[in-house]
Amino acid sequence: MGKRGPQPQPAELKALRGNPGKRAIPNTASSVPMLKKCPASLKGIKATWDHYGKVLADMGILQDSDGISWELLWRTWADYLSACKDPDFSVSEKIKIANTVQRLLDHFGMSPSARGSIAVDPPKKESEFEKYLDRNKIAT
């Protein structure tokens, strides 16, 4: 019998969501943040691949070890887009593909429900004094 309940979330997502229960977040295996190049076969969605890849890599969520899942997400998305353009696809086939895309988006925290409890600090605004200090720095 398989595991029950929702799949465990990556430590990076748990850290972004905060730790209201004050339970220890286990150390999980992780690799370096990455953004691999979009395969040539997915040239129609390259801009989307690059945009969301950069966002998630900057957050530390998209890592080198996620490459297969990341590519699978965008291949499935490309299939969904082509299915929507093809009148031969039935509605139920489109819904199946859309549900697969939704599950893959949830793995990366890219849906409203998956992102709902993520707490992110707003970007810190640099004060005039810090701008002044940065302006006077000597390049080394």
17 in a domain, yes or no?
no
Query: pLDDT tens for residues 32-53?
Result: 667 788 889 998 899 999 999 9
DSSP the chain: ----SSPPPPHHHHHHH--TT-PPPPP-----B--PPPPGGGGGGHHHHHHHHHHHHHHT-SBGGGHHHHHHHHHHHHHHHHHHH-TTS-HHHHHHHHHHHHHHHHHTT-SHHHHTT---PPPPPPPHHHHHHHHTPPP-
**93 part of a folded domain:** yes
Task: Please indicate, yes or no, if residue 55 is contained in any of the structural domains.
Answer: yes
Inside any domain, residue 101: yes
Q: What number of other Cβ atoms are within 10 A of residue 44's Cβ?
A: 13
- Let me know if residue 29 belongs to a domain: no
CB atoms within 10 A of CB 75: 15
Query: Identity (one letter) of the amino acid at 109?
Result: G
Question: Residue 29: pLDDT above 60?
Answer: no
pLDDT digits 0-9 by tens, 53-90: 988 888 777 888 888 999 999 999 999 999 999 999 99
Compute the C-alpha angle 64/69/74, nearest 5°. 110
What domain count does the chain have?
1
* Structural domain that includes position 60: 39-135
Domain assignment present for 92: yes
Residue 66 forms part of a structural domain: yes
- Report residue 26's pLDDT band, with 50, 70 and 90 as the boundaries: low
Q: Is 30 within a domain?
A: no
